[in-house]
Chains A and B, each alone.
Chain A
Amino acid sequence: MLGIETLPSALKALVTGQLSRRTSTLLVTFLLAGCVSTGGNVPVSDSGKPGPSGPTADDNADEPPQRVITPPRSSGAQTLLAQANNALDNQRPNTAIVLLERAIRIEPREASLWVRLSEVHLSQRDDVTAFQHARKAIALAGSNSNKAAAAWLQLAKVYEAQGKTREARQIRQRYSRARG
């Protein structure tokens, strides 16, 4: 199991003077492929409804920061996310899990879906699954700061649920510093 030290490195210029045009093109292709898969940037709130974009960090470590979840790109996954949120509103967490898993089958690399799934598992007191899904979200978020923020803050919530307040606080502080 990996520690919280494995925070994602900030995206820096990849294509330096050392790289040739061919290798640069290759990396840019990869990056573009990532952009296509990870989708757009229309933010939605926890309820799945469109919300304002803005800072994703919380400057106050004692208060859970407001999260902005970038929605999945496909309408199929978006619909399922909305249905899952609706199921949660109606106290049907198991249905929400089934719906979110369907959404993930459509967009398995979409970090925000893993974050949401982690949240639902946490609400069901399944912190082991919630932890791993938060980790998955972090790994998938990569250089997308919004998604990474949401994923890390979800991990902080899992730590809190596990009584690991020090680790949770570290994440919040680091995250706050990172956001500057």
Chain B
Amino acid sequence: MISSQKLTRLFRYTANPQCIGVNRKRDMAKKTASTRKTTAKASSNKNTQGQESWGRRLRRGLFKLLVKTVLWASLVAILVGAGYLYYLDRNISKTFEGRRWSVPAQVYAQPLELFPGKRLTNSQLQEELARLGYRKTADLSAPGSYQPIPGGVNVHLRSFAFMEATRPSTRLQVMFVGRQIQRMNSSGKPLDLIRLEPAVIGSFFPSHGEDRVILAPDQVPDLLANGLKAVEDRTFDEHKGFSITGIARAALVNLRSGKRQQGGSTLTQQLVKSYFLTNERTIERKLRELAMAIILEMRFSKEDLLTAYINEIFLGQNGARAIHGFGLGAQYYFNKPLNELPPDQIATLISIIRGPSYYNPFRHPERTLQRRNRILDTFRDDGLISQDAHQRVIGKPLGVVDSPNSGGAYYPAFMDLVRMELRERYSAKDLRSQGLRIFTTLNPRTQENAQQAVSRTLKAIEQGRAPSQRDLQASTVVADTQTGEVLALVGGRRGRVDGFNRALNAQRPVGSVIKPLIVLTALENGYDWSSLVNDEEITLIPPNGEPWSPRNYDGKSRGELPIIKALALSLNLATVDLGNRVGIGTVQARFTDLLGYAAKNRYPSFFLGAEAMSPLRLLELYGNFASGGFRVSPKSVIAVLDEQGNALSHYPFALEQTIDPDVAMSLNQGLEIVMRRGTGRSSPYAKQGVAGKTGTSNDNRDSWFAGFDNSKLSVVWVGRDDNKPTGLTGSSGAMRIWNAMMREEGVDPLIILANENSVAIEYDTGLQATDKCADVVVLPITRPDTLPIKPGCNIKVGLGQRLRSIFGR
């Protein structure tokens, strides 16, 4: 480097070349003197030179180290950053792709079949339509609407892809006469058969409780897509994941107001937050959100991102079930498909995004309405809806369903049964992500009736009770008598709440509802309804057990009486006597035949129902009786289809004959008498052609009822989860719930097929008689000619029978 002195000199030399000779002389003299000085200085500096170079070296070394460290740190930071970004990219892409097409299986109820002659009233059909979210309109211009007319109803059915074929959207007229459909027309032509689309009753969302109805981009209404952008992210189509102007605007608004009023997050950032992040407010999380949003924008199209947002965004909580996406939101809040929502309801859904709890339309309708109207204003100002449309809807109420639980059907207890049945063929992952469509046997009307019967009856029973006596629980299962298909299942008194499913999982002693099994075994082994048994005190001493002395419920014993009376009055002593005569092994072998598994209790207390069973198992046992002698396993799934509508599996009717039809019919006649004359007689339906049996376990801990008419078999249990006494018998607890169900369902009287051996016998003695000379019941008897005749009854029979009646049986 050239010093400034040297530069000055150089300049001087070059600036005045004529002076070079004079200057050189002068310089020479100076140089000589300078050399002398330098020599002297050098000799004096030699002592400090080593010390100065060490310090300089140290500084230089430190400087180099610092540079190197910075360089290495930068390199490492770049590598780590790149790795992290790579990780984020992989993670985000994988999760996004996975979640985008992770469609929970949709589960459908049975559709309502309509045909001339069907027993259905006009109002019932309109109730069904309302349940499916059909709206009453004047013009029927859109699917999902109906219009009552004198004597009937016009309906514009939605299209639906059924198992066999897709039914297009159809206009239909249904006319009624009395309590049944008289005729149906479609496009002016008579129609023999059509069905409503089935209700969606649930889906298999992941264990963390997120439910959703996935929409494809072409299923998203334009107003929703544009409205979201207008309200939540005006620069969505331009930005790359974040918006500086948006952040600045939000900051300004928040600064002015002094509180957090507006967020600066783009839709992409909101999506990232919903997918990957928690609600914590830290710089780190915000930066991560930003990086992820940018990656998502680089990886996916705007349409993909908007669709994912619409399917993903959190819109509320219903118990353990999180409502995600506008598809499910529309169903939950309005009980309609998204494409049928008018502008005001779309605006309501958009208003919820900002704070699903704060803008909960059920809890804060006023607040939500205000925000909805502001959004409608935005729709109008942005030209998304016309001024006229704005005027039409701005004054409308929110229009959400009555309560959080009435928007769309949701039956978690029944879904447990579906899940149980599908477990063998489908993994949990398949059910949560493959978009399967599962068609089930559930009858929504029966299910609703059963749920209401349980909750209302328990409430009525508990009225006036001490608080400690109010923790009653109940469950019920209803099935078709002939096919075994489960029509309704209630797992607890709060039917819509996912919790312990007592219908499937509560194992409780069944008490006297087991007694028909002992009678059946007896009828199959040479006994008749008229056969006499002893209702007398007895003490049994099993080989390896404690002595056991059963008692009747009322503590009394009645001596000798016919089997029919013992069953009708549910007499314990007589049943134990009959069981002992038939043999515990024989009875339990039949138990295994009818249920497919062995009883756990091998002692005679089994005769009185000291055997724990779930309501579903008990339903299966009674299915053998109600079906006329066939084992019909309770079944909830009809078929499973893939997303494209291809059938993956079909579950046909499965039954196996287990009881001779004549014997089954005979048993059902006996159970009909139990209702008419025995422990079921307090039911208002006891004499309308129903069969049933009550049951009560020790200390009134469990109250049971199993009953059936021609078409439906029901089992009801009432008890407490802590297994404490309830103070209820089978008839004062469970049967009351059954009564409440039948009140809504109506009785379809039992069909008792003719039996040539039916005979009138005296109820108290089992002797052949007529109602002129005795209190009789009519039942099939294997050998009526051997039946003794009650003295005094004028019955014309052969000499042999007359003699037998005189000289004993």
Give me the interface of A with B, judged by CB distance under 8 Å.
1-2, 6, 8-12, 14, 17-20, 22-23, 26-27, 29-31, 33-34, 37, 73-76, 78-80, 94-95, 97-99, 101-102, 104-106, 108-109, 117, 121, 129, 132-133, 135-136, 138-140, 142-143
Q: Is the CB of B485 within 8 A of A20?
A: no
Q: Give CA–CA (A79, B184) in the complex, Å.
A: 14
Q: Which residues of chain B have C-beta atoms less than 8 A from A20's C-beta?
A: 760, 770-772, 776
Q: Is the CB of B115 within 8 A of A98?
A: no
With a 10 A CB-CB cut-off, give which of A10, A80, A99, A132 has the most chain B CB atoms: A132
When C-beta atoms are compared, the residue in chain B nearest to A11 turns out to be B754
Query: Residue-by-residue, is B628-651 near A (CB-CB < 8 Å gives 1, otherwise 0)?
Result: 111000000011000000010010
Q: Which of B131-139, B317-325, B330-338, B476-484 contacts A (4 or more CB under 8 A)?
A: B476-484
Q: Is the CB of A75 within 8 A of B115?
A: yes
Q: Is the CB of A6 within 8 A of B117?
A: no
Q: Which residues of chain B have C-beta atoms less than 8 A from A33's C-beta?
A: 689, 710, 749-751
Given A14-B756, A18-B760, A109-B751, decide whether A76 and B657 contact each other with a Cβ distance below 8 A: no
- With both chains docked as a complex, state the minimum distance between the C-beta of A23 and any C-beta of chain B, in angstroms: 5
What number of A-B contacts does a CB cutoff of 8 Å give?
146
Q: Which residues of chain A have C-beta atoms less than 8 A from B639's C-beta?
A: 98
Q: Is the CB of A18 within 8 A of B630?
A: no
Q: Which residues of chain A have C-beta atoms less than 8 A from B471's C-beta?
A: none
Given A22-B771, A95-B164, A132-B655, decide whether A105 and B480 contact each other with a Cβ distance below 8 A: yes
- With both chains docked as a complex, state the minimum distance between the C-beta of A90 and any C-beta of chain B, in angstroms: 12
Is B9 in contact with chain A by the CB < 8 A criterion?
no
Q: Which residues of chain B have C-beta atoms less than 8 A from A37's C-beta?
A: 710, 751
Q: Which residues of chain A have C-beta atoms less than 8 A from B768's C-beta?
A: 18
When C-beta atoms are compared, the residue in chain B nearest to A76 turns out to be B115
List CB contacts (< 8 Å) of B744-761 with chain A: 749-756, 758-760
When C-beta atoms are compared, the residue in chain A nearest to B749 turns out to be A33
Contact of A79 among B115, B629, B650 (CB under 8 A): B115
Q: Which residues of chain A have C-beta atoms less than 8 A from B117's C-beta?
A: 73-76
When C-beta atoms are compared, the residue in chain A nearest to B439 turns out to be A98
Q: Is the CB of B193 within 8 A of A1?
A: no
Q: Which residues of chain A have C-beta atoms less than 8 A from B114's C-beta?
A: 76
Q: Is the CB of A136 within 8 A of B110?
A: no
- With both chains docked as a complex, state the minimum distance between the C-beta of A20 and any C-beta of chain B, in angstroms: 4
Q: Is the CB of B630 within 8 A of A139?
A: yes
List CB contacts (< 8 Å) of B555-591 with chain A: none
Is B177 in contact with chain A by the CB < 8 A criterion?
no
Q: Give CA–CA (A109, B711) in the complex, Å.
A: 9
Q: Which residues of chain B have C-beta atoms less than 8 A from A97's C-beta?
A: 650, 652
Q: Is the CB of A98 within 8 A of B163?
A: yes
Q: Which residues of chain A have C-beta atoms less than 8 A from B753's C-beta?
A: 30, 34, 142-143
Q: Which applies to chain A's interface (DSSP): helix, strand, loop or mixed?
A: helix
Contact of A75 among B193, B661, B760 (CB under 8 A): B193
List CB contacts (< 8 Å) of B188-214 with chain A: 192-193
Q: Give CA–CA (A33, B118) in the complex, Å.
A: 17
Q: Is the CB of B110 within 8 A of A105?
A: yes
Q: Is the CB of A132 within 8 A of B656?
A: yes
Contact of A98 among B650, B661, B758, B796 (CB under 8 A): B650
Contact of B778 among A1, A23, A109 (CB under 8 A): A23
Given A26-B778, A76-B118, A140-B628, decide whether A106 and B754 contact each other with a Cβ distance below 8 A: no
Q: Give CA–CA (A75, B661) in the complex, Å.
A: 28
Q: Which residues of chain A have C-beta atoms less than 8 A from B796's C-beta?
A: 17
- With both chains docked as a complex, state the minimum distance between the C-beta of A85 and any C-beta of chain B, in angstroms: 14
- With both chains docked as a complex, state the minimum distance between the C-beta of A2 and any C-beta of chain B, in angstroms: 6
Q: What would 17 more interface pairs be, CB under 8 Å, given A18-B759, A18-B795, A142-B754? A: A6-B660, A14-B754, A22-B771, A27-B754, A30-B753, A31-B754, A33-B749, A34-B752, A73-B117, A76-B113, A79-B115, A101-B638, A101-B653, A108-B483, A132-B656, A132-B657, A139-B629
Instruction: List 9 tightest A-B contacts by C-beta distance, closest first.
Output: A76-B115, A108-B482, A20-B771, A30-B752, A79-B193, A139-B661, A142-B753, A79-B192, A12-B756
Query: Residue-by-residue, is B467-505 near A (CB-CB < 8 Å gives 1, otherwise 0)?
Result: 000000000000011110100000000000000000000
When C-beta atoms are compared, the residue in chain B nearest to A77 turns out to be B115
Is B143 in contact with chain A by the CB < 8 A criterion?
no
Is B404 in contact with chain A by the CB < 8 A criterion?
no
Is B298 in contact with chain A by the CB < 8 A criterion?
no
Q: Is the CB of B778 within 8 A of A19?
A: yes
When C-beta atoms are compared, the residue in chain B nearest to A120 turns out to be B652
When C-beta atoms are compared, the residue in chain A nearest to B183 turns out to be A75
Q: Is the CB of A80 within 8 A of B193?
A: yes
With a 10 A CB-CB cut-off, give which of A37, A74, A99 has the most chain B CB atoms: A74
Q: Give CA–CA (A33, B483) in the complex, Å.
A: 20
When C-beta atoms are compared, the residue in chain A nearest to B638 turns out to be A101
Is B598 in contact with chain A by the CB < 8 A criterion?
no
Q: Give CA–CA (A135, B664) in the complex, Å.
A: 14
Q: Is the CB of B164 within 8 A of A2?
A: no
When C-beta atoms are compared, the residue in chain A nearest to B653 turns out to be A101
Is B550 in contact with chain A by the CB < 8 A criterion?
no
Q: Which residues of chain B have C-beta atoms less than 8 A from A121's C-beta?
A: 652
Q: Give CA–CA (A121, B653) in the complex, Å.
A: 11
Sample of 22 A–B contacts (CB below 8 Å): A10-B756, A14-B754, A14-B755, A14-B756, A17-B795, A18-B770, A18-B795, A20-B771, A23-B776, A26-B778, A30-B749, A31-B754, A33-B689, A34-B751, A97-B650, A98-B639, A99-B164, A104-B653, A109-B482, A109-B710, A136-B630, A139-B628
When C-beta atoms are compared, the residue in chain A nearest to B655 turns out to be A132
Is B654 in contact with chain A by the CB < 8 A criterion?
yes
Q: Which residues of chain B have C-beta atoms less than 8 A from A78's C-beta?
A: 192
Q: Is the CB of B751 within 8 A of A30?
A: yes
Q: Which residues of chain B have C-beta atoms less than 8 A from A27's C-beta?
A: 752, 754, 758, 778
Q: Which residues of chain B have C-beta atoms less than 8 A from A19's C-beta?
A: 760, 770, 778
Is B264 in contact with chain A by the CB < 8 A criterion?
no
Q: Give CA–CA (A109, B106) in the complex, Å.
A: 31
Given A20-B771, A34-B753, A109-B482, decide whether A101 and B652 contact each other with a Cβ distance below 8 A: yes
Q: Which residues of chain A have C-beta atoms less than 8 A from B485's C-beta?
A: 105
- With both chains docked as a complex, state the minimum distance between the C-beta of A117 and any C-beta of chain B, in angstroms: 8
Q: Give CA–CA (A35, B709) in the complex, Å.
A: 16
Q: Give CA–CA (A29, B647) in the complex, Å.
A: 44
- With both chains docked as a complex, state the minimum distance between the C-beta of A167 and any C-beta of chain B, in angstroms: 15
Given A23-B760, A75-B192, A97-B652, decide whether A2 and B657 contact each other with a Cβ distance below 8 A: yes
Q: Which residues of chain B have C-beta atoms less than 8 A from A104's C-beta?
A: 482-483, 653
Q: Is the CB of A2 within 8 A of B754?
A: no
List CB contacts (< 8 Å) of B638-692 with chain A: 638-639, 647, 650, 652-657, 660-662, 689
Q: Which residues of chain A have C-beta atoms less than 8 A from B660's C-beta?
A: 2, 6
Q: Give CA–CA (A20, B776) in the complex, Å.
A: 10
Given A2-B660, A23-B778, decide whether A30 and B756 contact each other with a Cβ distance below 8 A: no
Q: Give CA–CA (A79, B115) in the complex, Å.
A: 9
Is B116 in contact with chain A by the CB < 8 A criterion?
yes
Query: Residue-by-residue, is B144-166 near A (CB-CB < 8 Å gives 1, otherwise 0)?
Result: 00000000000000000001100
Contact of A76 among B110, B193, B752 (CB under 8 A): B193
Q: Which residues of chain A have C-beta atoms less than 8 A from B776's C-beta?
A: 20, 23
Q: Which residues of chain A have C-beta atoms less than 8 A from B752's C-beta?
A: 27, 30, 34
- With both chains docked as a complex, state the minimum distance between the C-beta of A9 and any C-beta of chain B, in angstroms: 6
Q: Which residues of chain A have C-beta atoms less than 8 A from B653's C-beta?
A: 101, 104, 117, 129, 133
Q: Give CA–CA (A23, B758) in the complex, Å.
A: 10
Q: Give CA–CA (A124, B635) in the complex, Å.
A: 22
